[in-house]
Amino acid sequence: MAQFRTCPDTGLYFHKSAESLIKANAVAAAVALLVAGILGLLVVLTRWQAIHLLPADQFYMALTAHGIDALIFWIIFFEMAVLYVASSVLLRSRLATPAWGWVQFILMLVGAVMTNVAIFQGNSSVMMTSYVPMQAAPHFYLGLILFAVGALIGCFIFFGTLVVAKQEKTYDGSIPLVTFGAVTAAIIAVFTIASGAIILIPTFLWSIGYIAHIDAEMYRVVWWGLGHSSQQINVAAHVAIWYLIAGLVFGARPMSEKVSRAAYLLYILFLQLACAHHILVDPGISSEWKVFNTSYAMYLAVLASMIHGLTVPGSIEVAQRGKGFNNGLFEWLRKAPWENPVFSSMFISLVTFGFLGGITGVVMGTEQINLIIHNTIYVPAHFHATVVTGTTMAFMAVTYFLIPVLFRRQMILPGLAKIQPFIFGGGMTILILFMLGAGTLGVSRRHWDMDFTGAALGFDYPGMAYTLMGIGAFGGVIGVVGGAAFLLITVGSLVFGKKLEPSAGLLQSFGVPLAASCYTDKRPETLPRAAPLPAGHHTSSFEAPGTFVLALVLLVSFVVYYFINWKYLASVWPLS
């Protein structure tokens, strides 16, 4: 019999089995974030040339583990939790096949540990991309494969739960927008994992000597079907979280269900092809194919992100104006709850993802411009804006929400929590901006020593490159402090926070009863449709003028920056 509990603060329903799984995945994610953060600190302190902390072998080992723990393990464990929330919790449905949920969790855990062991044994410092013919230990690939199989199971449990919810009529009408976003993420995840299987399974077989040769260019093409698409899962997931938090904090309703859902559909249709922008300066790939993939495909996905970039803050503005914050263009934003980390973290995520991550991503994904950016430190600067200040801050925002609601603990250190998003977001923004600058000066990514110590032939970077890398690394240190504050607050709350009511943890899934019986066998009431808008609401005037102005600021920055880069490209040697 499925057992449910109601959150007295939010009215959300938790299916006991789902609740335990959400907690397990969220905690595993936090552990991965902790490891990734420590490694990130070691990496920035090494690339800060004045400190140059680690020796070369340890630096490459730390950088490999940092990439995999942050980009894969932290984010995908958390996304499993998001999928369970978006299906079981939001739809008030029992989770389909909870036992398979534990298979998901254990496979991912074993995979994550196995790959980390392989890296720290020292023979698998191959970076996250593990480009062949550089070879890692077999269990490096095997761990990733097990992890991916676990994630795939998680996606199918999610789809199964949608079917259960539909059949048992746990909701009225169509699925909510947030769940729709999670469906998008899960669909992208399925074909991402398929790409991963196509390339990682042969590579594993090659590492144990069963296959003689893997073509290096084929590896790059297929691997990026995994590597880039997996970042699109993040985008779909964190946009869903933006909508969720806009609803939770402001009671915001989507400006248009049709527009927001159509934008998600564009992600599904066009994102997979966009991974071509990683191989724009590779041998043997035609311009027609590159232009097709980066423009036709990627720009329609970019269009989708530009739409969400308007509709998420727009929905907040409409909700705030409805509450009377109507003065001028921006009172709704000034009077937003900036002291609430759920909001501030989400809003920083939105702004940095658009202004830093989005613009730089499109610029460097342009066929010709890529040749002045490929493999410079501009690239990690870009994806730290998308996955750190973008995805990670959205996940942090929802974690602040889940501590009291899911874990039933009062948050400790509320004063620190108020400023944590600004420390983390501010530090990482410094890191990103200055690494972008250093990349423009040609500083290489994944490089231990910009002094080229021991090289037979030398090259001197301009002094400015050292300055930019130093300031960027300093920002990285502040970011790590902000990340540590996040873990201190969240993990500390789980351990030391005041207990609100009992809620199911890991043990309850295996039959250990809770102290108080707060769960009932009673099925939750059917999730009703949202209240209709008051009559005459739809007018032809602009509902969210402030947001529209912000969107135009984004557009102008985008256009100016885009053409600056063409100008810069025009200054390099003619090539044809």
Partner 1 sequence: MTSFMPPADRIWWKVPVGREEIVWILIALTWCLIMFFMMPYWHIYGKQNLSNEAYQTTPAKYGAKVQEGIDQNKVGEEAGVPIIHPPAGSDVYMLARLWQWWPILELEKDKTYRLHLSSMDWQHGFSVQPININMQVVPGYEMVLTVTPDQSGEYGVVCNEYCGIGHHTMVGKIYVKE
467 binds partner 1 (CB under 8 A): no
Three-state SS for 119-177 is HHCCCCCCCCCCCCCCCCCHHHHHHHHHHHHHHHHHHHHHHHHHHHHHHCCCECCCCCH
State the minimum distance, in angstroms, from the CB of residue 478 to partner 1. Answer: 27
Pairwise CA distance, residues 512 & 210, whole Å = 46
Q: Which stretch binds partner 1 (CB under 8 A): 25-33, 43-51, 366-374, 473-481?
A: 366-374
State the minimum distance, in angstroms, from the CB of residue 307 to partner 1. Answer: 6
State the minimum distance, in angstroms, from the CB of residue 538 to partner 1. Answer: 7
Nearest one of 59, 61, 65, 57 to 33, comparing CA atoms: 65
Residue 382 and residue 360 in contact, taking contact as beta carbons nearer than 8 Å: yes
Nearest one of 18, 29, 21, 27 to 147, comparing CA atoms: 29
**Taken in order 142, 143, 144, 147, is the CA torsion positive or negative?**
positive
State the minimum distance, in angstroms, from the CB of residue 82 to partner 1. Answer: 12
Among 373, 381, 405, 438, binds partner 1 (CB under 8 A): 373
User: In terms of C-beta density within 10 A (0-12 exposed, 13-18 middle, 19 or more buried), how is residue 496 classed?
Assistant: exposed
State the minimum distance, in angstroms, from the CB of residue 499 to partner 1. Answer: 26
Torsion, Cα 24 25 28 32, to 10 degrees, reads: -170
Among 24, 118, 306, 428, binds partner 1 (CB under 8 A): 306
State the minimum distance, in angstroms, from the CB of residue 345 to partner 1. Answer: 17
459 binds partner 1 (CB under 8 A): yes
- Structure token digits, residue 151: 């994630």
State the minimum distance, in angstroms, from the CB of residue 327 to partner 1. Answer: 19
496 binds partner 1 (CB under 8 A): no
Task: Tell me, residue by residue from 213 to 252, as one string, x for binding to partner 1 by CB under 8 A and - for no binding.
Answer: --xxx--x----------------------xx-xxx--xx
Residue type, position 276, single letter? A
Q: Which stretch binds partner 1 (CB under 8 A): 108-116, 199-207, 275-283, 421-429?
A: 275-283
State the minimum distance, in angstroms, from the CB of residue 72 to partner 1. Answer: 18
320 binds partner 1 (CB under 8 A): no
Pairwise CA distance, residues 95 & 105, whole Å = 14
Residue type, position 115, single letter? T
State the minimum distance, in angstroms, from the CB of residue 565 to partner 1. Answer: 10
296 binds partner 1 (CB under 8 A): yes
Provide the angle, in degrees to the nearest 10, between the axes of the packed helices 75-84 and 98-120.
Answer: 170
Residue type, position 340, single letter? N
Among 351, 362, 402, 480, binds partner 1 (CB under 8 A): 362
Among 1, 50, 167, 172, binds partner 1 (CB under 8 A): 172
Select 38 or 285, whichever has its Cβ closest to partner 1.
285
Among 1, 50, 212, 457, binds partner 1 (CB under 8 A): 457
Q: Which residues have C-beta within 8 Å of that of residue 516, sequence separation ≥ 6?
A: 501, 502
Q: Which residues have C-beta within 8 Å of that of residue 360, sequence separation ≥ 6?
A: 378, 381, 382, 385, 436
281 binds partner 1 (CB under 8 A): yes
291 binds partner 1 (CB under 8 A): yes
Classify strands 13-15 and 4-6 as parallel, antiparallel or unpaired.
antiparallel
Pairwise CA distance, residues 535 & 352, whole Å = 37
**Taken in order 425, 431, 433, 439, is the CA torsion positive or negative?**
negative
525 binds partner 1 (CB under 8 A): no
State the minimum distance, in angstroms, from the CB of residue 27 to partner 1. Answer: 23
Select 153 or 301, whichever has its Cβ closest to partner 1.
301
Among 13, 48, 171, 264, binds partner 1 (CB under 8 A): 171
Select 78 or 401, whichever has its Cβ closest to partner 1.
401
State the minimum distance, in angstroms, from the CB of residue 189 to partner 1. Answer: 20
Select 288 or 521, whichever has its Cβ closest to partner 1.
288
Three-state SS for 35-91 is HHHHHHHHHHHHHCCCCCCCCHHHHHHHHHHHHHHHHHHHHHHHHHHHHHHHHHHHH
Task: Tell me, residue by residue from 426 to 455, as one string, x for binding to partner 1 by CB under 8 A and - for no binding.
Answer: --------------xxx-xxxxxx--xxxx
Interface with partner 1 in residues 64-83 (CB under 8 A): none
515 binds partner 1 (CB under 8 A): no
133 binds partner 1 (CB under 8 A): yes
User: In terms of C-beta density within 10 A (0-12 exposed, 13-18 middle, 19 or more buried), how is residue 200 classed?
Assistant: buried
Among 131, 496, 507, 520, binds partner 1 (CB under 8 A): 131
